[in-house]
């Protein structure tokens, strides 16, 4: 446990969520709290934190998937980690209700609460989406997408059915934010590299498609740089549909609202996020988007001893409130990591009778990887493309990857890929690991 000042009853701090905010806040607390001062409990359905900006590279084989996650118990050695899903928060009783991994329900009492719940994929009522779509927010999804895409190449190389082959070699990404663009570009780069081992498939047979409802991609970067990115992707043979919506995906038959129709066996959904629905089952104050209302110091409005930060918090963005008094911090890793570091300090400060500080952070810019040696960056008003931007993307994210252990492992993965190329083998058996054993039993 994280312990601090000698007390008969240490302050019980409960952190709901083990993502960026949850893990970094707990890490800060275990460093700052004195022995006997407090106990810290972190509750999350997964026993690890996933560094989501690296998911596209993990899916494309540039990084070993295990190196994209940080095991909570290993990092938070002085905290109590509970593997379970929070189902209810009652601040009136100061109780968090959680369904633990073994299935039983437990009520956990707290004195100080931190809401660090992550956002979930925002889906739309598109026919067929639930049946054929796959997200890109978890390490499990990244591993599945990688195996699935490479297995389509294997199947396409093995069939004489022209229509099936065309469907297998069509890959669709819906959503033109950073996650969508990086997923599209990294996977296309991986398959292009893999085709050198598939004599029967030509690069021009591949059909990579991005569909975005807005008139531009990656709104965090300048419009000019976004337009350059579209041009660069189209030069690589990818099709980018802007101002376009998906009407149907039933049976893998893609129908767009501009009349375009084609079949695809791979449909990846990255079209936005929404607040975690668990928050609706709490007595915390929420805004119109379902996020927890906060002060600039990340204290929940009107509630003593409750804090929130990250994707599901409405923290005022003081760098923009002069222009827009209602401006809140956008949900991204840049804010989440910085908020959590100050949040840990603020919690300790208030426990010791000091005044918490307001969160103020100017947006530094954005970086995106578009495959090996390709990228875009918009930093401090300066725009970079190609190799320099790709290097900035990798440097920036490895800096914020938690723990020296994980930083070194990621750097080793990149170094090995530089000399030996990407790994392009599909481990499809992990999706059904008992099939061979079951056949052996039945034979």
What is the domain partition of the chain in residue ranges?
Answer: 11-121+274-352, 129-271+422-429
323 with 6: CB under 8 angstroms? no
| Architecture of the CATH domain 129-271+422-429 | 3-Layer(bba) Sandwich (3.50)
Determine the Cα–Cα distance for residues 331 and 333; give it in Å rounded to an integer: 7
Judge if 11-121+274-352 and 129-271+422-429 fold alike in CATH terms: yes
Segments in 99-235 forming alpha helices (H): 129-132, 139-158, 162-168, 178-194, 223-235
Determine the Cα–Cα distance for residues 337 and 309; give it in Å rounded to an integer: 10
Rg over CA atoms, the chain: 23
Q: What is the pLDDT of residue 82?
A: 96
Is CATH 3.60.20.10 what the domain over 11-121+274-352 is classified as, yes or no?
A: no
Strand order in the sheet with 253-256: 246-248, 253-256, 261-263
Q: Which positions of the chain have pLDDT values less than 70?
A: 1-8
Determine the Cα–Cα distance for residues 181 and 177; give it in Å rounded to an integer: 6
Determine the Cα–Cα distance for residues 362 and 222; give it in Å rounded to an integer: 16
Q: What is the pLDDT of residue 206?
A: 95
* Interval 321-344: pLDDT, tens: 778 888 898 888 788 888 999 999
Which helix (H) or strand (E) is 23 found in, with range?
helix 20-32
* Interval 159-175: pLDDT, tens: 999 999 999 999 999 99
50 with 57: CB under 8 angstroms? no
């Amino acid at each position: 446990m994280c312990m601090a000042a000698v007390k008969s009853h240490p302050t019980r701090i409960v952190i709901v969520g083990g993502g960026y905010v949850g893990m970094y806040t707990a890490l800060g607390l275990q460093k700052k709290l004195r022995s006997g001062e407090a106990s810290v409990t972190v509750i999350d359905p997964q026993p690890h934190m996933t560094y989501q900006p690296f998911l596209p590279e993990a899916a494309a084989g540039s990084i070993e998937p295990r190196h994209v996650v940080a095991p909570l118990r290993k990092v938070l050695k002085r905290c109590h980690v509970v593997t379970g899903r929070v189902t209810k928060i009652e601040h009136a009783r100061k109780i968090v209700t959680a369904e633990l991994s073994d299935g039983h329900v437990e009520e956990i009492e707290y004195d100080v609460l931190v809401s660090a719940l992550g956002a979930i994929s925002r889906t739309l009522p598109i026919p067929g989406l639930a049946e054929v779509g796959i997200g890109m927010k978890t390490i499990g999804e990244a591993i599945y997408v990688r195996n699935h895409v490479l297995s389509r190449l294997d199947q396409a190389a093995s069939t004489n059915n022209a229509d099936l082959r065309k469907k297998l070699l069509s890959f669709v990404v819906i959503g033109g934010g950073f996650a969508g663009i990086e997923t599209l570009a990294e996977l296309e780069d991986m398959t292009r590299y893999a085709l050198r081992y598939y004599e029967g498939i030509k690069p021009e047979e591949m059909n990579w498609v991005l569909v975005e409802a807005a008139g531009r991609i990656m709104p965090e970067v300048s419009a000019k740089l976004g337009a350059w990115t579209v041009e660069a992707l189209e030069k690589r043979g990818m099709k980018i549909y802007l101002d376009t919506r998906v009407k149907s995906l039933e049976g893998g038959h893609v129908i767009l609202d501009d009349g375009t129709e084609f079949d695809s066996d791979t449909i990846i959904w990255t079209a936005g996020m929404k607040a975690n629905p668990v928050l609706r089952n709490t007595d915390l104050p929420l805004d119109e988007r379902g996020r927890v209302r906060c002060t600039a110091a990340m204290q929940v409005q009107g509630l003593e001893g409750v804090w929130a930060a990250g994707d599901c918090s409405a923290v005022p963005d003081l760098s923009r409130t002069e222009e827009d008094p209602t401006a809140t911090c956008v949900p991204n890793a840049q804010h989440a990591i910085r908020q959590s570091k100050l949040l840990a300090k603020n919690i300790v400060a208030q426990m010791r009778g000091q005044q918490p500080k307001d969160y103020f952070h100017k947006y530094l810019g954005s970086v995106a990887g578009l495959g090996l040696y390709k990228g875009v960056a918009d930093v401090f008003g300066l725009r970079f493309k190609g190799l320099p931007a790709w290097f900035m993307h990798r440097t920036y994210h490895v800096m914020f990857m938690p723990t020296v252990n994980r930083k070194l492992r990621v750097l080793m993965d990149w170094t090995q890929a530089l000399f030996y190329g990407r790994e392009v083998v599909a481990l499809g058996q992990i999706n059904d690991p008992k099939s061979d054993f079951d056949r052996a039993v039945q034979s």
